[in-house]
Amino acid sequence: MCREATHCRIVFFYNLFITIYGLLLRLAAPFVPKAKAWRAGRHRWEAELQKKRAEGPWIWMHCASAGEFEQGKPVLEALRAAWPGHRILVSFFSPSGYEVGVKYKGADAVTYLPLDTAANARRFVSIVDPALVVFIKYDFWYQHLKAVHERGTPLLLVSALFRPGQSFFKWYGGVQRRLLQFFTWLFVQDEASVSLLKSIGVTHCSAAGDTRFDRVATITQAPAPLPLIEAFAQHGSEPILVAGSTWPEDEALIEKLPWQSGLRLIIAPHEIDIAHIDALRARFGAAAVACSELELHDSAAALRVLIIDNFGMLSRLYRYGSITYIGGGFNKSGIHNTLEAAAWGKPVIFGPNYQKFREARGLVAAGAAFSVSRSEKLAEVVDGLLAPGAGRQEASEAAARYVEQNIGATPRIIAWIQEKRLLTN
């Protein structure tokens, strides 16, 4: 009884927090563009879903943002192929994810996930009436998960990764542990996650792997052309460093490399607002140009640095690099997606905060990736990879091999769904 009362109190405070969070976003919307986008998108969700309600049956996939959407795409596309009679709904928490998702032709509907109140969650799930629900990696919204569970709808978690420091495994994590019981099955990335879950009594789980490996392998098999990037890359014989998802701390290191001679740069920052693009122009000077300003007929011979000021091409950019750099390694949240570069067979460099990323640790252990914390170390690693000898070739082969050895999560998940007969055509 005491434990149940404690649970109720925690859920009460969770609901209070969500209500306050929604109010703060409303107050911030006139002044903060992201808050404004978040609010605007959630004004429309109910009316838009009501219009499509009769088009089902629906499979609902939820992703926090654009990165998780890429992770979920292999499963989404496999579900569509295996059960073509079902429609696909994708929901997002973040505006950046939604902006990417609405351009994707493989989904029949794309929406924001409404604020996680009990009323919103019940209404959302009632309108969609999904035959199957798939959450990608994390983004655990208590009320929505509870609403799905109470309807008896199969609910899967895909490509999750658990670590001992997470609240699920702490004395205060009772609500988080209860939340995991809402899922029908948890497909996690590795056996270490399975062991952690079993240590808290969660046995409805298995190690299927990471669907991002399947996604990046697919991208490299049939890449869409990038004519402007191709034109830039073909001017000159110097090696090119492709730096993706960079933050100012990454850019401060990269700036000190010898861009005026011997090396060229394609840089795709994580934030592409005007202020950040202007800051990059200031860093790299007259030899830098933004992608939106580059024309095919321009003389690119004098250009040393190409700044990518749009979304959507990063996973295809890495093919043009001799070596790659992945940003985020100086942030608390850690590095961004290393697999998009490794899938092209490119050596990968990143900052020091990478330990919580299983694939980054694997690439380092395989000799395909290198961590740096100072500009001098970055220069040393770059020089070593570009020096005559087999170093870069060995790192490239190790990167491609690591990705190849880890594909296959998607067919394992689909086979399980088929075996359990969770969907019928």
Quick check: 206 pLDDT over 80? yes
| Assigned token pair, 283 | 């860093």
- Is 333 found in the same domain as 235? yes
On whether both 312 and 368 belong to a single domain, the answer is yes
Q: For residues 29 and 297, which has the higher predicted lDDT (pLDDT)? A: 29
Indicate whether 190 and 108 sit together in one domain.
Answer: yes
Q: Are residues 321 and 179 in the same domain?
A: no
- Residue 297: its pLDDT value, please? 45
Give the C-alpha separation, 29 to 55, whole Å.
Answer: 33
Q: Report yes or no: 324 and 348 within 8 Å, Cβ to Cβ.
A: yes
- The pLDDT value recorded for residue 423 is 93
Q: Is residue 412 part of a domain?
A: yes
Give residue 300's pLDDT.
Answer: 54
Same domain? For 197 and 236 the reply is no
Q: Is the pLDDT of residue 299 over 60?
A: no
- The amino acid at residue 106 is G
User: Is residue 15 included in any domain, yes or no?
Assistant: no
**260 and 126 share a domain?**
no
Task: Decide if pLDDT at 7 tops 80.
Answer: no
| Angstrom distance (rounded) from CA 146 to CA 187 | 19
Q: Judge contact between 107 and 84, C-beta under 8 A.
A: no
Residues 110 and 183 in one domain: yes
- Stronger pLDDT, 366 or 12, i.e. the higher one: 366
pLDDT value of position 298: 56
Q: pTM for this structure? A: 0.90
If one compares 221 and 301, the residue with the highest pLDDT of the two is 221
1 pLDDT higher than 70: no
Q: What's the mean pLDDT in 25-51? A: 82
Q: How many percent of the chain have pLDDT more than 90?
A: 71
Rounded alpha-carbon distances, angstroms, from residue 121 to 151, 152, 252: 12, 15, 44
Average pLDDT, the chain: 92
**Given pLDDT bands bounded at 50, 70 and 90, which one contains residue 47?**
confident
| Interatomic CA distance for residues 314 and 375, integer angstroms | 24
The strand pairing partners of 324, in sequence order, are: 242, 348
- Residues 331 and 369 reside in one and the same domain: yes
Confidence of residue 5 (pLDDT cuts 50, 70, 90): low
Residue 51 token pair: 């219009």
* Same domain as 399, residue 251: yes
Looking at the fold, whether 261 and 325 belong to one and the same domain comes out as yes
Report pLDDT for 2: 53
Count: domains in the chain? 2
What is the domain-level CATH number for residue 240?
A: 3.40.50.2000
Model pLDDT, residue 32: 80
pLDDT of residue 220: 94
Residue 106 falls inside a structural domain: yes
- pLDDT (tens digit per residue) in 375-421: 999 999 999 999 988 899 999 999 999 999 999 999 999 999 999 99
Give the domain range for residue 369.
Answer: 224-405
pLDDT in tens, 115-157: 999 999 999 999 999 999 999 998 999 999 999 999 999 999 9
Q: How confident is the model at residue 303 (pLDDT cuts 50, 70, 90)?
A: confident
Listed residue (62, 38, 80, 73) closest to 134, CA to CA: 62
The answer to whether residue 389 sits within a structural domain is yes
Tens of pLDDT, residues 252-265: 999 999 876 789 99
DSSP-assigned letters across all residues of 378-414: HHHHHHHHHSSSSHHHHHHHHHHHHHHHT--HHHHHH
Least confident of 45-49, 84-88, 409-413: 45-49
The answer to whether the CB of 288 falls within 8 A of the CB of 303 is: yes
Bigger pLDDT: 104 or 11? 104
Does the structure show a pLDDT above 50 at 102?
A: yes
Q: What is the mean predicted confidence (pLDDT) over 337-362?
A: 97
311: which 2 tokens? 């979304």
CATH of the domain at 95: 3.40.50.11720
Averaged pLDDT for residues 181-185: 98
Question: Is 70 within a domain?
Answer: yes
- Is residue 51 included in any domain, yes or no? yes
